[in-house]
Structure 1
Protein backbone atom coordinates (compact mmCIF):
# COMPACT_ATOMS: atom_id res chain seq x y z
CA UNK A 1 0.00 0.00 0.00
CA UNK A 2 2.84 2.38 0.81
CA UNK A 3 4.50 1.58 -2.51
CA UNK A 4 1.26 2.65 -4.21
CA UNK A 5 1.06 5.78 -2.01
CA UNK A 6 -2.11 4.51 -0.35
CA UNK A 7 -1.13 6.05 2.98
CA UNK A 8 -4.60 6.33 4.50
CA UNK A 9 -5.37 2.72 3.67
CA UNK A 10 -2.06 1.65 5.20
CA UNK A 11 -2.82 3.55 8.40
CA UNK A 12 -6.35 2.10 8.66
CA UNK A 13 -5.03 -1.42 8.18
CA UNK A 14 -2.25 -0.92 10.74
CA UNK A 15 -4.73 0.59 13.24
CA UNK A 16 -6.98 -2.45 12.82
CA UNK A 17 -4.03 -4.79 13.40
CA UNK A 18 -2.98 -3.00 16.59
CA UNK A 19 -0.04 -1.11 18.09
CA UNK A 20 2.75 -3.48 16.95
CA UNK A 21 1.74 -2.98 13.32
CA UNK A 22 1.40 0.78 13.85
CA UNK A 23 4.96 0.84 15.17
CA UNK A 24 6.15 -1.05 12.10
CA UNK A 25 4.34 1.45 9.88
CA UNK A 26 5.88 4.42 11.69
CA UNK A 27 9.36 2.93 11.31
CA UNK A 28 8.69 2.33 7.61
CA UNK A 29 7.73 5.99 7.18
CA UNK A 30 10.87 7.09 9.05
CA UNK A 31 13.06 4.90 6.85
CA UNK A 32 11.43 6.44 3.77
CA UNK A 33 11.89 9.95 5.17
CA UNK A 34 8.13 10.53 5.24
CA UNK A 35 8.37 12.19 8.62
CA UNK A 36 5.04 14.01 8.47
CA UNK A 37 3.11 10.74 8.15
CA UNK A 38 5.21 9.18 10.91
CA UNK A 39 4.66 12.15 13.22
CA UNK A 40 0.88 12.22 12.69
CA UNK A 41 0.53 8.50 13.48
CA UNK A 42 2.72 8.83 16.57
CA UNK A 43 0.70 11.79 17.82
CA UNK A 44 -2.68 10.23 17.05
CA UNK A 45 -1.87 6.88 18.69
CA UNK A 46 0.22 8.09 21.66
CA UNK A 47 3.42 6.41 20.49
CA UNK A 48 5.71 9.18 21.76
CA UNK A 49 7.43 6.83 24.19
CA UNK A 50 8.31 4.38 21.40
CA UNK A 51 9.39 7.17 19.01
CA UNK A 52 10.64 10.10 21.12
CA UNK A 53 12.62 11.76 18.30
CA UNK A 54 9.99 11.75 15.56
CA UNK A 55 8.56 15.15 16.44
CA UNK A 56 11.94 16.87 16.30
CA UNK A 57 12.87 15.12 13.07
CA UNK A 58 9.58 16.19 11.50
CA UNK A 59 10.04 19.81 12.54
CA UNK A 60 13.65 19.78 11.33
CA UNK A 61 12.46 18.48 7.97
CA UNK A 62 9.91 21.29 7.78
CA UNK A 63 12.54 23.86 8.77
CA UNK A 64 14.84 22.68 6.01
CA UNK A 65 12.10 23.07 3.39
CA UNK A 66 11.38 26.58 4.65
CA UNK A 67 15.09 27.44 4.64
CA UNK A 68 15.39 26.28 1.04
CA UNK A 69 12.70 28.85 0.19
CA UNK A 70 14.36 31.51 2.41
CA UNK A 71 11.21 31.72 4.57
CA UNK A 72 13.24 32.49 7.68
CA UNK A 73 10.53 34.25 9.70
CA UNK A 74 8.13 31.34 9.23
CA UNK A 75 10.89 28.87 10.07
CA UNK A 76 11.82 30.75 13.23
CA UNK A 77 8.18 30.83 14.33
CA UNK A 78 7.93 27.09 13.74
CA UNK A 79 11.02 26.51 15.89
CA UNK A 80 9.05 28.22 18.67
CA UNK A 81 12.11 29.06 20.74
CA UNK A 82 13.21 25.44 21.10
CA UNK A 83 16.98 25.74 21.53
CA UNK A 84 17.79 22.54 19.64
CA UNK A 85 15.60 23.60 16.72
CA UNK A 86 16.99 27.14 16.73
CA UNK A 87 20.53 25.73 16.62
CA UNK A 88 19.48 23.61 13.65
CA UNK A 89 18.05 26.72 12.01
CA UNK A 90 21.41 28.45 12.49
CA UNK A 91 23.09 25.49 10.83
CA UNK A 92 20.68 25.75 7.88
CA UNK A 93 21.31 29.48 7.55
CA UNK A 94 25.03 28.81 7.47
CA UNK A 95 24.59 25.95 5.01
CA UNK A 96 22.63 28.08 2.56
CA UNK A 97 24.93 31.08 2.90
CA UNK A 98 22.67 33.44 4.90
CA UNK A 99 25.39 34.63 7.25
CA UNK A 100 23.54 37.75 8.38
CA UNK A 101 20.72 35.46 9.52
CA UNK A 102 23.29 33.33 11.37
CA UNK A 103 24.49 36.38 13.32
CA UNK A 104 20.92 37.56 13.89
CA UNK A 105 19.78 34.23 15.34
CA UNK A 106 22.91 33.82 17.46
CA UNK A 107 22.42 37.29 18.95
CA UNK A 108 18.69 36.87 19.53
CA UNK A 109 18.95 33.51 21.26
CA UNK A 110 22.37 34.05 22.90
CA UNK A 111 23.93 31.18 20.96
CA UNK A 112 27.61 30.63 20.44
CA UNK A 113 29.04 31.94 17.19
CA UNK A 114 28.91 29.49 14.29
CA UNK A 115 32.06 30.85 12.58
CA UNK A 116 34.96 31.04 15.03
CA UNK A 117 38.33 32.68 14.41
CA UNK A 118 41.17 30.81 16.14
CA UNK A 119 44.43 32.71 16.65
CA UNK A 120 45.47 32.15 20.28
CA UNK A 121 46.24 29.33 22.70
CA UNK A 122 42.91 29.03 24.52
CA UNK A 123 40.89 29.18 21.33
CA UNK A 124 43.11 26.52 19.79
CA UNK A 125 42.50 24.18 22.70
CA UNK A 126 38.74 24.74 22.69
CA UNK A 127 38.52 24.21 18.94
CA UNK A 128 40.53 21.00 19.13
CA UNK A 129 38.33 19.58 21.90
CA UNK A 130 35.18 20.37 19.92
CA UNK A 131 36.55 18.82 16.72
CA UNK A 132 37.74 15.69 18.53
CA UNK A 133 34.16 15.17 19.67
CA UNK A 134 32.94 15.03 16.06
CA UNK A 135 32.69 11.94 13.90
CA UNK A 136 32.91 13.90 10.64
CA UNK A 137 34.62 17.22 9.83
CA UNK A 138 35.23 19.24 6.67
CA UNK A 139 38.71 20.53 5.80
CA UNK A 140 40.01 23.29 3.55
CA UNK A 141 42.75 25.93 3.52
CA UNK A 142 43.62 29.18 1.76
CA UNK A 143 46.76 31.14 0.92
CA UNK A 144 47.63 34.36 -0.85
CA UNK A 145 48.06 33.77 -4.59
CA UNK A 146 51.45 34.45 -6.14
CA UNK A 147 51.38 35.77 -9.69
CA UNK A 148 55.16 35.94 -10.20
CA UNK A 149 56.22 33.05 -12.42
CA UNK A 150 58.83 30.78 -10.87
CA UNK A 151 58.63 32.38 -7.43
CA UNK A 152 58.11 30.46 -4.21
CA UNK A 153 54.45 29.96 -3.23
CA UNK A 154 53.17 31.94 -0.27
CA UNK A 155 52.58 30.25 3.06
CA UNK A 156 49.19 28.71 3.70
CA UNK A 157 47.42 31.41 5.68
CA UNK A 158 44.30 29.82 7.14
CA UNK A 159 42.88 26.36 7.63
CA UNK A 160 39.16 25.72 8.00
CA UNK A 161 37.95 22.76 10.04
CA UNK A 162 34.22 22.41 10.53
CA UNK A 163 31.87 20.16 12.43
CA UNK A 164 28.18 20.10 11.57
CA UNK A 165 27.58 23.04 13.93
CA UNK A 166 30.69 25.23 13.85
CA UNK A 167 33.34 26.40 11.41
CA UNK A 168 36.75 27.03 12.96
CA UNK A 169 39.13 29.20 10.95
CA UNK A 170 42.71 28.70 12.16
CA UNK A 171 45.14 31.58 11.65
CA UNK A 172 48.10 29.33 10.85
CA UNK A 173 50.57 32.17 10.40
CA UNK A 174 49.95 33.62 13.87
CA UNK A 175 49.56 30.28 15.65
CA UNK A 176 52.78 28.98 14.10
CA UNK A 177 54.59 32.11 15.25
CA UNK A 178 53.18 32.11 18.80
CA UNK A 179 52.59 28.45 19.78
CA UNK A 180 54.12 26.13 17.14
CA UNK A 181 54.43 23.09 19.41
CA UNK A 182 50.83 23.30 20.59
CA UNK A 183 49.60 23.86 17.04
CA UNK A 184 51.55 20.80 15.90
CA UNK A 185 50.08 18.67 18.68
CA UNK A 186 46.49 19.81 18.13
CA UNK A 187 46.49 19.34 14.36
CA UNK A 188 48.23 15.97 14.71
CA UNK A 189 45.43 14.81 17.00
CA UNK A 190 42.86 15.87 14.41
CA UNK A 191 44.46 14.91 11.11
CA UNK A 192 45.84 11.57 12.27
CA UNK A 193 42.83 10.49 14.32
CA UNK A 194 41.23 7.20 13.18
CA UNK A 195 38.02 8.30 14.90
CA UNK A 196 37.34 11.37 12.75
CA UNK A 197 36.34 11.13 9.10
CA UNK A 198 37.72 14.16 7.25
CA UNK A 199 36.02 15.48 4.12
CA UNK A 200 38.11 17.51 1.72
CA UNK A 201 38.42 18.39 -1.95
CA UNK A 202 41.82 17.21 -3.19
CA UNK A 203 43.01 17.97 0.33
CA UNK A 204 46.03 15.67 0.05
CA UNK A 205 47.40 18.31 -2.37
CA UNK A 206 46.69 21.01 0.21
CA UNK A 207 48.62 18.92 2.73
CA UNK A 208 51.67 19.07 0.48
CA UNK A 209 51.36 22.85 0.41
CA UNK A 210 50.93 22.88 4.19
CA UNK A 211 54.01 20.69 4.67
CA UNK A 212 56.01 23.02 2.42
CA UNK A 213 54.79 26.08 4.33
CA UNK A 214 55.45 24.64 7.79
CA UNK A 215 58.18 22.08 7.17
CA UNK A 216 59.19 21.55 10.80
CA UNK A 217 55.67 20.59 11.90
CA UNK A 218 54.93 16.87 11.92
CA UNK A 219 51.15 17.23 11.73
CA UNK A 220 51.05 17.72 7.95
CA UNK A 221 53.26 14.75 7.07
CA UNK A 222 50.64 12.09 7.82
CA UNK A 223 46.87 11.82 7.74
CA UNK A 224 44.21 9.24 8.50
CA UNK A 225 40.60 8.72 7.38
CA UNK A 226 40.60 11.37 4.64
CA UNK A 227 37.69 11.22 2.20
CA UNK A 228 38.48 13.08 -1.02
CA UNK A 229 35.12 14.15 -2.42
CA UNK A 230 36.76 14.98 -5.75
CA UNK A 231 36.96 11.24 -6.38
CA UNK A 232 33.33 10.64 -5.43
CA UNK A 233 32.01 12.29 -8.58
CA UNK A 234 32.68 10.95 -12.05
CA UNK A 235 32.54 14.36 -13.72
CA UNK A 236 35.53 16.41 -12.46
CA UNK A 237 34.95 19.38 -14.77
CA UNK A 238 34.96 22.79 -13.16
CA UNK A 239 36.89 21.75 -10.07
CA UNK A 240 35.54 22.84 -6.70
CA UNK A 241 33.56 25.67 -8.27
CA UNK A 242 31.88 23.17 -10.58
CA UNK A 243 31.03 20.99 -7.62
CA UNK A 244 29.59 24.01 -5.81
CA UNK A 245 27.42 24.72 -8.85
CA UNK A 246 26.19 21.14 -8.81
CA UNK A 247 25.62 20.85 -5.07
CA UNK A 248 24.69 24.39 -4.00
CA UNK A 249 23.39 25.55 -7.39
CA UNK A 250 25.72 28.53 -7.11
CA UNK A 251 29.33 28.83 -8.21
CA UNK A 252 32.16 30.10 -6.04
CA UNK A 253 33.36 33.68 -6.26
CA UNK A 254 36.90 33.31 -7.65
CA UNK A 255 37.69 36.92 -6.77
CA UNK A 256 37.34 36.05 -3.10
CA UNK A 257 39.42 32.90 -3.49
CA UNK A 258 42.21 34.89 -5.13
CA UNK A 259 42.14 37.64 -2.51
CA UNK A 260 44.84 38.47 0.04
CA UNK A 261 44.46 35.78 2.71
CA UNK A 262 47.39 37.17 4.70
CA UNK A 263 45.64 40.42 5.57
CA UNK A 264 44.27 40.73 9.10
CA UNK A 265 41.51 40.91 9.86
CA UNK A 266 39.96 39.01 6.98
CA UNK A 267 37.03 40.72 5.32
CA UNK A 268 33.49 39.52 5.93
CA UNK A 269 33.40 38.27 2.33
CA UNK A 270 36.50 36.16 2.94
CA UNK A 271 35.05 34.68 6.14
CA UNK A 272 31.81 33.83 4.36
CA UNK A 273 33.71 32.28 1.46
CA UNK A 274 35.72 30.13 3.86
CA UNK A 275 32.54 28.93 5.56
CA UNK A 276 30.66 28.25 2.31
CA UNK A 277 33.39 25.90 1.12
CA UNK A 278 32.88 23.74 4.18
CA UNK A 279 29.12 23.61 3.61
CA UNK A 280 29.70 22.07 0.19
CA UNK A 281 31.22 19.07 1.92
CA UNK A 282 28.20 18.65 4.18
CA UNK A 283 25.79 18.91 1.27
CA UNK A 284 27.80 16.14 -0.38
CA UNK A 285 27.44 14.13 2.81
CA UNK A 286 23.66 14.66 2.88
CA UNK A 287 23.40 13.71 -0.79
CA UNK A 288 25.40 10.55 -0.15
CA UNK A 289 23.33 9.47 2.84
CA UNK A 290 20.01 10.12 1.10
CA UNK A 291 20.98 8.30 -2.08
CA UNK A 292 22.37 5.32 -0.19
CA UNK A 293 19.44 5.08 2.22
CA UNK A 294 16.91 5.06 -0.60
CA UNK A 295 18.95 2.66 -2.71
CA UNK A 296 18.97 5.07 -5.63
CA UNK A 297 20.98 4.40 -8.77
CA UNK A 298 23.17 7.41 -8.00
CA UNK A 299 24.23 6.17 -4.59
CA UNK A 300 27.83 6.96 -3.71
CA UNK A 301 30.25 4.28 -2.56
CA UNK A 302 32.12 6.75 -0.38
CA UNK A 303 33.95 4.21 1.76
CA UNK A 304 36.15 3.13 -1.14
CA UNK A 305 37.49 6.70 -1.48
CA UNK A 306 38.87 7.00 2.06
CA UNK A 307 42.66 7.35 2.06
CA UNK A 308 45.35 7.40 4.74
CA UNK A 309 49.06 8.09 4.80
CA UNK A 310 50.73 7.11 8.04
CA UNK A 311 54.33 6.45 9.08
CA UNK A 312 53.35 3.24 10.82
CA UNK A 313 53.89 0.06 8.79
CA UNK A 314 50.75 -1.33 7.24
CA UNK A 315 48.94 -3.92 9.25
CA UNK A 316 48.21 -7.26 7.77
CA UNK A 317 44.69 -7.60 6.42
CA UNK A 318 44.25 -10.62 8.68
CA UNK A 319 45.38 -8.75 11.77
CA UNK A 320 42.40 -8.10 14.05
CA UNK A 321 41.57 -4.49 14.82
CA UNK A 322 41.89 -3.48 18.48
CA UNK A 323 38.56 -3.26 20.24
CA UNK A 324 38.84 0.46 20.87
CA UNK A 325 39.79 1.31 17.28
CA UNK A 326 36.76 2.24 15.16
CA UNK A 327 36.32 0.97 11.64
CA UNK A 328 35.04 2.71 8.55
CA UNK A 329 31.58 1.35 9.25
CA UNK A 330 31.43 3.48 12.41
CA UNK A 331 31.48 6.69 10.34
CA UNK A 332 28.78 8.16 8.15
CA UNK A 333 29.70 11.12 5.95
Structure 2
Protein backbone atom coordinates (compact mmCIF):
# COMPACT_ATOMS: atom_id res chain seq x y z
CA UNK A 1 0.00 0.00 0.00
CA UNK A 2 1.27 3.50 -0.84
CA UNK A 3 0.20 7.13 -0.50
CA UNK A 4 1.28 10.31 -2.27
CA UNK A 5 1.56 13.94 -1.12
CA UNK A 6 2.48 17.02 -3.16
CA UNK A 7 5.07 19.01 -1.17
CA UNK A 8 6.27 21.59 -3.69
CA UNK A 9 5.98 22.88 -7.26
CA UNK A 10 7.22 25.48 -9.70
CA UNK A 11 5.36 26.29 -12.90
CA UNK A 12 7.88 28.56 -14.63
CA UNK A 13 8.74 27.49 -18.15
CA UNK A 14 12.43 26.79 -17.53
CA UNK A 15 12.17 25.26 -14.06
CA UNK A 16 8.80 23.51 -14.05
CA UNK A 17 8.51 20.68 -11.59
CA UNK A 18 6.37 19.02 -8.95
CA UNK A 19 7.88 17.44 -5.88
CA UNK A 20 6.05 14.60 -4.13
CA UNK A 21 6.53 12.31 -1.18
CA UNK A 22 5.37 8.77 -1.88
CA UNK A 23 5.15 6.51 1.15
CA UNK A 24 5.27 2.72 0.78
CA UNK A 25 4.00 0.36 3.49
CA UNK A 26 4.06 3.27 5.98
CA UNK A 27 7.82 2.78 6.30
CA UNK A 28 9.62 4.01 3.19
CA UNK A 29 9.27 7.53 1.84
CA UNK A 30 10.34 8.21 -1.74
CA UNK A 31 11.07 11.83 -2.62
CA UNK A 32 9.85 12.07 -6.21
CA UNK A 33 10.59 14.80 -8.73
CA UNK A 34 8.30 15.13 -11.78
CA UNK A 35 9.65 17.46 -14.46
CA UNK A 36 10.21 18.13 -18.16
CA UNK A 37 12.95 20.68 -17.41
CA UNK A 38 16.49 19.67 -18.50
CA UNK A 39 18.00 21.89 -15.80
CA UNK A 40 15.94 20.17 -13.10
CA UNK A 41 17.09 16.79 -14.37
CA UNK A 42 20.73 17.90 -14.30
CA UNK A 43 20.29 19.24 -10.78
CA UNK A 44 18.67 16.00 -9.59
CA UNK A 45 21.52 13.96 -11.06
CA UNK A 46 24.13 16.24 -9.49
CA UNK A 47 22.50 15.87 -6.07
CA UNK A 48 21.71 12.17 -6.10
CA UNK A 49 24.28 10.40 -8.28
CA UNK A 50 27.57 12.08 -7.47
CA UNK A 51 28.98 8.78 -6.21
CA UNK A 52 29.01 7.15 -9.65
CA UNK A 53 31.05 4.40 -8.03
CA UNK A 54 31.10 0.84 -9.33
CA UNK A 55 28.13 -0.94 -7.83
CA UNK A 56 25.67 1.96 -7.93
CA UNK A 57 22.24 0.39 -8.58
CA UNK A 58 19.52 2.46 -10.26
CA UNK A 59 15.96 1.40 -10.96
CA UNK A 60 14.99 2.31 -14.55
CA UNK A 61 11.59 2.21 -16.24
CA UNK A 62 10.36 3.85 -19.46
CA UNK A 63 6.71 4.43 -20.27
CA UNK A 64 4.97 5.39 -23.48
CA UNK A 65 1.45 5.73 -24.80
CA UNK A 66 0.10 2.25 -25.57
CA UNK A 67 0.27 1.27 -29.23
CA UNK A 68 -3.34 0.45 -30.05
CA UNK A 69 -3.14 0.21 -33.84
CA UNK A 70 -1.02 -1.86 -36.24
CA UNK A 71 2.31 -0.22 -37.08
CA UNK A 72 1.82 2.36 -34.31
CA UNK A 73 5.09 3.22 -32.56
CA UNK A 74 4.58 5.85 -29.88
CA UNK A 75 7.82 7.23 -28.46
CA UNK A 76 8.92 6.98 -24.84
CA UNK A 77 7.04 9.65 -22.90
CA UNK A 78 8.54 9.33 -19.42
CA UNK A 79 11.78 7.99 -18.02
CA UNK A 80 11.76 6.94 -14.35
CA UNK A 81 14.99 6.61 -12.36
CA UNK A 82 15.36 5.72 -8.69
CA UNK A 83 18.47 5.92 -6.51
CA UNK A 84 17.80 4.65 -3.00
CA UNK A 85 14.76 6.69 -1.79
CA UNK A 86 14.89 9.39 -4.48
CA UNK A 87 13.03 9.10 -7.76
CA UNK A 88 13.08 11.16 -10.94
CA UNK A 89 10.21 11.12 -13.45
CA UNK A 90 11.49 12.90 -16.55
CA UNK A 91 8.79 13.79 -19.08
CA UNK A 92 11.25 13.40 -21.90
CA UNK A 93 8.57 13.67 -24.60
CA UNK A 94 7.76 17.23 -23.51
CA UNK A 95 11.32 18.32 -22.77
CA UNK A 96 13.00 20.89 -25.05
CA UNK A 97 16.19 18.79 -24.94
CA UNK A 98 17.88 15.91 -23.20
CA UNK A 99 20.52 17.22 -20.79
CA UNK A 100 24.11 16.16 -21.34
CA UNK A 101 24.30 15.07 -17.70
CA UNK A 102 21.61 12.43 -18.33
CA UNK A 103 23.31 11.19 -21.49
CA UNK A 104 26.58 10.74 -19.57
CA UNK A 105 24.88 9.09 -16.60
CA UNK A 106 23.05 6.50 -18.68
CA UNK A 107 26.26 5.69 -20.56
CA UNK A 108 28.39 5.27 -17.44
CA UNK A 109 29.84 1.76 -17.02
CA UNK A 110 30.00 2.37 -13.26
CA UNK A 111 26.20 2.35 -12.92
CA UNK A 112 24.00 -0.74 -13.17
CA UNK A 113 20.43 -0.02 -14.28
CA UNK A 114 17.88 -2.63 -13.26
CA UNK A 115 14.26 -3.42 -14.04
CA UNK A 116 11.85 -6.09 -15.20
CA UNK A 117 12.04 -6.39 -18.98
CA UNK A 118 14.62 -3.62 -18.93
CA UNK A 119 16.18 -4.54 -22.27
CA UNK A 120 12.97 -3.56 -24.05
CA UNK A 121 12.98 -0.23 -22.24
CA UNK A 122 16.57 0.65 -23.06
CA UNK A 123 16.15 -0.47 -26.69
CA UNK A 124 13.19 1.91 -26.97
CA UNK A 125 15.19 4.78 -25.43
CA UNK A 126 17.90 4.22 -28.04
CA UNK A 127 15.39 3.93 -30.86
CA UNK A 128 13.44 7.06 -29.92
CA UNK A 129 16.14 9.35 -28.48
CA UNK A 130 19.49 7.77 -29.36
CA UNK A 131 20.13 7.33 -25.64
CA UNK A 132 22.57 4.53 -24.85
CA UNK A 133 22.27 2.73 -21.52
CA UNK A 134 25.61 1.00 -21.03
CA UNK A 135 25.07 -1.45 -18.18
CA UNK A 136 21.74 -3.19 -17.53
CA UNK A 137 20.49 -6.24 -15.62
CA UNK A 138 17.04 -7.77 -15.89
CA UNK A 139 15.73 -8.42 -12.39
CA UNK A 140 14.03 -11.64 -13.40
CA UNK A 141 17.21 -13.39 -14.52
CA UNK A 142 19.17 -11.82 -11.66
CA UNK A 143 16.69 -13.15 -9.09
CA UNK A 144 16.50 -16.59 -10.71
CA UNK A 145 20.28 -16.92 -10.62
CA UNK A 146 20.95 -15.39 -7.19
CA UNK A 147 18.08 -17.18 -5.43
CA UNK A 148 18.42 -20.37 -7.48
CA UNK A 149 14.72 -20.31 -8.36
CA UNK A 150 14.33 -20.83 -12.14
CA UNK A 151 10.63 -19.91 -12.02
CA UNK A 152 11.61 -16.30 -11.33
CA UNK A 153 12.74 -15.95 -14.96
CA UNK A 154 9.04 -15.31 -15.67
CA UNK A 155 8.15 -13.36 -12.52
CA UNK A 156 6.72 -9.85 -12.38
CA UNK A 157 7.95 -7.03 -10.17
CA UNK A 158 5.19 -7.80 -7.64
CA UNK A 159 6.57 -11.30 -7.06
CA UNK A 160 10.18 -10.13 -7.00
CA UNK A 161 9.35 -7.42 -4.47
CA UNK A 162 7.59 -9.89 -2.24
CA UNK A 163 10.36 -12.50 -2.23
CA UNK A 164 13.24 -10.05 -1.77
CA UNK A 165 11.84 -7.00 0.06
CA UNK A 166 8.92 -8.58 1.89
CA UNK A 167 6.13 -6.54 0.34
CA UNK A 168 4.12 -6.77 -2.84
CA UNK A 169 3.28 -3.96 -5.23
CA UNK A 170 0.12 -4.16 -7.27
CA UNK A 171 -0.91 -1.63 -9.90
CA UNK A 172 -4.22 -1.60 -11.78
CA UNK A 173 -3.89 -2.15 -15.51
CA UNK A 174 -5.67 1.14 -16.21
CA UNK A 175 -2.66 2.91 -14.68
CA UNK A 176 0.05 0.92 -16.44
CA UNK A 177 -1.66 1.40 -19.82
CA UNK A 178 -2.68 5.03 -19.25
CA UNK A 179 -1.72 8.12 -21.27
CA UNK A 180 1.89 8.65 -20.25
CA UNK A 181 2.22 11.18 -23.06
CA UNK A 182 -0.12 13.63 -21.32
CA UNK A 183 1.61 16.85 -20.34
CA UNK A 184 -0.01 16.66 -16.89
CA UNK A 185 0.28 13.28 -15.20
CA UNK A 186 -2.17 12.22 -12.50
CA UNK A 187 -1.05 11.56 -8.96
CA UNK A 188 -1.89 7.88 -9.52
CA UNK A 189 0.57 7.77 -12.42
CA UNK A 190 3.28 9.50 -10.39
CA UNK A 191 2.70 7.18 -7.43
CA UNK A 192 2.91 4.10 -9.65
CA UNK A 193 6.05 5.35 -11.38
CA UNK A 194 7.81 6.12 -8.11
CA UNK A 195 6.89 2.85 -6.41
CA UNK A 196 7.88 0.67 -9.36
CA UNK A 197 11.23 2.41 -9.80
CA UNK A 198 11.85 2.27 -6.05
CA UNK A 199 11.03 -1.43 -5.82
CA UNK A 200 13.18 -2.14 -8.89
CA UNK A 201 16.11 -0.38 -7.24
CA UNK A 202 15.49 -2.15 -3.92
CA UNK A 203 15.28 -5.60 -5.48
CA UNK A 204 18.46 -4.95 -7.46
CA UNK A 205 20.36 -3.74 -4.40
CA UNK A 206 19.18 -6.70 -2.31
CA UNK A 207 20.15 -9.27 -4.92
CA UNK A 208 23.61 -7.78 -5.49
CA UNK A 209 24.45 -6.89 -1.88
CA UNK A 210 26.56 -10.00 -1.34
CA UNK A 211 28.39 -9.83 -4.68
TM value normalised by structure 1: 0.48
Offset, 1:123 = 0.4
Q: Match for residue 34 of structure 2? A: 117
Structure-2 change in CA distance of 1:200 and 1:237 (3 Å) = closer
Indicate the structure with greater helix content.
1
Structure-2 change in CA distance of 1:283 and 1:95 (3 Å) = farther
2:180 aligned counterpart, secondary structure: coil
Distance 1:195 1:289 in 2: 14
Distance 1:228 1:155 in 2: 22
Per-residue Cα deviation, 1:102-121 (whole angstroms, up to 9, x for no partner) = 5xxxxxxxxxx810012113
Q: Is the 8 A contact 2:42 2:99 kept in 1?
A: no
User: 1:216-255 maps to which residues of 2 (within 5 A)?
Assistant: 217=130, 219-220=131-132, 223-232=133-142, 233=144, 234=150, 235-244=152-161, 246=163, 247=165, 248-255=167-174
Q: What runs of 5+ residues in structure 2 fail to find an aligned partner?
A: 3-20, 145-149
Q: Match for residue 327 of structure 1? A: none
Structure-2 change in CA distance of 1:286 and 1:191 (3 Å) = closer
2:154 aligned counterpart, secondary structure: coil
Higher relative contact order (CA 8 A, sep 6+): 2
User: 1:193-204 maps to which residues of 2 (within 5 A)?
Assistant: 193-204=108-119
Structure-2 change in CA distance of 1:124 and 1:226 (3 Å) = same
Q: What runs of 5+ residues in structure 1 fail to find an aligned partner?
A: 1-67, 71-92, 103-112, 293-302, 304-333
| Aligned residue-pair number | 180
Per-residue Cα deviation, 1:108-154 (whole angstroms, up to 9, x for no partner) = xxxxx810012113202202313431432211111111222x22221
Q: RMSD of the alignment, in Å? A: 2.9
Indicate the structure with greater strand content.
2
Kindly indicate whether residue 121 of structure 2 is the aligned counterpart of residue 212 of structure 1.
Answer: no
Structure-2 change in CA distance of 1:284 and 1:242 (3 Å) = same
User: 1:182-201 maps to which residues of 2 (within 5 A)?
Assistant: 183=98, 185-201=100-116
Q: Is the 8 A contact 1:197 1:226 kept in 2?
A: yes
Residue among 276, 285, 289 paired with 2:195: 276
TM value normalised by structure 2: 0.72
